[in-house]
Structure 1
């Protein structure tokens, strides 16, 4: 059973609905537990699993008998949690029903030690922590009250075919026009929730330098992501970005697309993809853009340096707009360099970050844990 009691929507919340069909295809019986009315619940249903739902995280704990009865009825022997706050429920279930195994994927990257009495109890019921990058695993080893042998790196993965080009030249032109991107411009984009940690402000500041210092490049910025709290963004931060763009006179040079479901297609009209996040636990957008054959600039922090090497992209200091502008100028000015980096990036994803490899690794963990 995959447990995700979150009412938000991001990479963590998307994971269960992405992975459930893959596990079902491999013959696993999969169940879900989610908050009633949440997007996680609806996406689990769309993925083919009608989840057990609860009204709140607190209600999940007080109705533990209902969960235990469900586990018995469906012979569920493994609980896979995706939020650290959900571990209290899984640990309680494992305490009350010995034999239940618990796996926890740390999607966020722990930021403080968790070795107090409560966490020793909760993590003591966890058979395996899955860290989605080596950077995250190192933090987990320091923070969690577990031996290193129970903390395992398992990179996320994607199906690269989803990000292969689908649009013809006329469709690409039409899409660019619909977004107000001038013909002949070099497009540099950033995708993700509009929050300070995702680094869009550094992107805008770097665009200011690129446009003013190198007008011959005809650079145009594209900021992809929802503009409201309901879409996962910080509205005060969105307003700050829009004000910065206006004050710098860049309203005609930077497009805010709002929330989009066609990110794979938007990659087709971008020449350079920037991921200026300050501390990504993995960086799914990075490998998605790489799979699309894009030249990518990522932050030289968090897990992103594990994804990009010198042959497949560029790294930049997430605190330095000038450093970003330097990398953006280099790539915007060379079609051949962008193509070479894009080809290497696509090959790197196929070698290291396939969804099929992730699923097989996950199945291996499940089998090992159930056999212990």
Structure 2
């Protein structure tokens, strides 16, 4: 059994972090896999994300403080040797830099997954990438076709592989709508749109709230998640006189029940990689609408999904209406079952890691 060490910037609830945790759960090397979080402490992370608790003995927190920390490279190299790592698997630019150089210093093979490419418009990110790619030869994976295409414009990124994210189709399943709404204390006699994610500007919740002014009064919106814009979004709701129609749930642990309560799931983001939420919703049989950003469109069931313009509230409302009121002959669950089962994703990464470890 190979020892694979995943390295993330932090372990807070988010698509990238969920993917890494899912990989730990479904990999054939899960018993020997570790996840290193550069930032934060175990206590902080598990308080905010209780799902981490069963894996506590496989999680390592380095509590990195803000700013450039060159000593972290040697610290990671020593940690990889101590763990007797066969492969280091990094996610996003910070871990790519620190752990990429650390893996090189320790003489360990490396896999790097990019979950989006828009951040490379940042010159400092390009510089960090150039430094790592000049001294090591990581196997680079993109989580979406559009991400792979964008990465192909960067130096030493001409052999990018694509492994798309997946979800557990036996956890995310259709359920009873009335029961789900009762559990979440949501109104039963309405059409219910749902959205989830960090309450930050990039996620576009403010546009979706504006879209509610273009939708029938019988339509409600429920938002799962927390973040720095929570109070600002609630103020927006009050100013638009939507308090009776928009519901904030905060952090939700039981996401299958959340999706089961919905009529439509909406992802209004301004930027995305290959998001998990539309896959989770569709696995629960809920049609989804996403903005045409990043790899979001690649998650959609072609027979039931809708593509929206980012930042356009009126277009958003127009695209959602048919999903709310038209009858469907096809369930989006079949699309997820066929193309986005987490087990297939984990198997693809296992094959990649085993090949790296044997080089």
Cα distance change of structure 1 residues 274 and 59 upon mapping to structure 2, 3 Å threshold: closer
1:199 aligns to 2:200 (yes or no):
no
**Aligned partners of 1:95 and 1:328: how far apart in 2?**
49
CA distance 1:324–1:127, change in 2 (3 Å) = same
Matches within 5 A, 1:253-264: 253-264=245-256
* 1:82 positional shift: 1.4
- In the aligned structure 2, how far is the partner of 1:188 from the partner of 1:89? 41
Deviation, structure 1 residue 167: 4.5
Instruction: Mark the runs of 5 or more structure 2 residues left unpaired by the alignment.
Output: none
2:315 corresponds in structure 1 to: 323
- 2:5 is the counterpart of 1:5: no
Q: Write the distance in 1 (CA, Å) between the matches of 2:341 and 2:297.
A: 18
Deviations 1:169-218 (A, max 9, x none): 5x335236x23x2x42111111111112111111111111113xxx4xx2
1:24-62 residue CA offsets vs partner (Å, 9 max, x unmatched)? x45762123224514558866622643343232679752
Structure 1 pair 81/173, CA: closer, same or farther in 2 (3 Å)? closer
The higher-RCO structure (CA 8 Å, 6+ apart) is: 2
Equivalent pair of 1:9/1:40 in contact (CA under 8 Å) = no
Provide the residue aligned with 2:341 in structure 1.
354
1:19-168 matched pairs, under 5 angstroms: 19-23=23-27, 25-26=28-29, 29-34=32-37, 35=39, 37-38=41-42, 46-47=54-55, 49-56=57-64, 61-62=70-71, 67-98=76-107, 100-112=108-120, 119-124=129-134, 125-143=136-154, 145-149=155-159, 151-167=160-176
Residue 280 (structure 1) aligns with: 272
Q: Is the 8 A contact 1:104 1:126 kept in 2?
A: no
Residue of structure 1 in register with 2:356 after alignment: 369
Structure 1 contact 2–80 (Cα < 8 Å) conserved: yes
RMSD: 2.7
- TM-score between the two structures when normalised by the length of structure 2: 0.86
Counterpart of 1:142 in 2: which secondary structure?
coil
With structure 1 as the length reference, what TM-score do the two structures score?
Answer: 0.83
Alignment counterpart, residue 261 of structure 2, candidates 242, 263, 269:
269
Q: State the number of aligned residues.
A: 346
Q: Quote the Cα distance in structure 2 between the aligned partners of 1:61 and 1:53.
A: 17
Q: Which runs of 5+ in 1 are unaligned?
A: 227-232
CA spacing shift, 1:90–1:43, aligned 2, 3 Å: farther
Residues 220-243 of structure 1: CA distance to partner in whole angstroms, max 9, x if unpaired? 1112212xxxxxx12xx3233222
